[in-house]
Amino acid sequence: MLIGYARVSTKEQNEARQLTPLKQAGCEKIFIDKESGRNFNRTEYNKMKKLLRFGDVLFVEDLARFGRNKEEILDEWANFQKQEIDIVILNMPILDTRKYRDLPGIQKLVSDLVLTILSWVVDEERKRILEHQRQGIAIAKAAGKYKGRPVKYTENEPSMSHALELYEKGIKSIDEITKITSVGRSTLYRKVRELGIKRKK
């Protein structure tokens, strides 16, 4: 079976650029994650791993879409090779394990060498991005412009707990609840959906 894997770092990013070459490669099923590549604990990636079997081929458009941690990339790659699952990195033709099926020694040599170099590059790029983020935040703080991330409420925090109680009782309007508790309308609605709270009429 030919399986494709695509990943973008956030829900706002578009994965279309990766999907076109995966479809052109003949992938019968494509898994898409909209999560960070800092590790392999990703929903769709783990679903894909459970589906992959001996003789399958995994297609990824770019090594950076596969992951951004050097050691973990190497471990994942080695595990796929042990299961005799081929891997094809479409924008790097040398990383196509199908080419070396009859040359196991060469396959390991080429894969290990190129993958080590590329995964190191990916890892360094990740570190560079993080360092630039830190520098940007430091500059923004120094200029008094950095506000940090918005507060994420849980149902156990007093303000959210109060907002949920008022919502459930139905004694205050949504606008009144947000003014009293300072919990945003969309945040409140999201938590209500998550917890399945019903508002009294």
Q: Verify whether residue 119 is a known catalytic residue.
A: no
Q: Which residues of 139-161 are buried (b: 16+ CB within 10 A; e: fewer)?
A: eeeeeeeeeeeeeebeeeeeebe
Annotated catalytic residue, options 9, 36, 182, 186? 9
CB-CB neighbours of 120 under 10 Å: 13
Tokens of 99: 């080419």
Q: Find all residues with CB under 8 Å of 56, minimum gap 6, and list them.
A: 1, 2, 3, 85, 86
Please, what is the angle between helix 158-169 and helix 174-181, to 10°? Answer: 160
Strand 29-34 relative to strand 2-8, pairing: parallel
If you write DSSP's letter for every residue of 21-36 in order, what string do you get?
HHHHTT-SEEEEEES-
Q: Find all residues with CB under 8 Å of 72, minimum gap 6, and list them.
A: 39, 40
Active site residues: 9
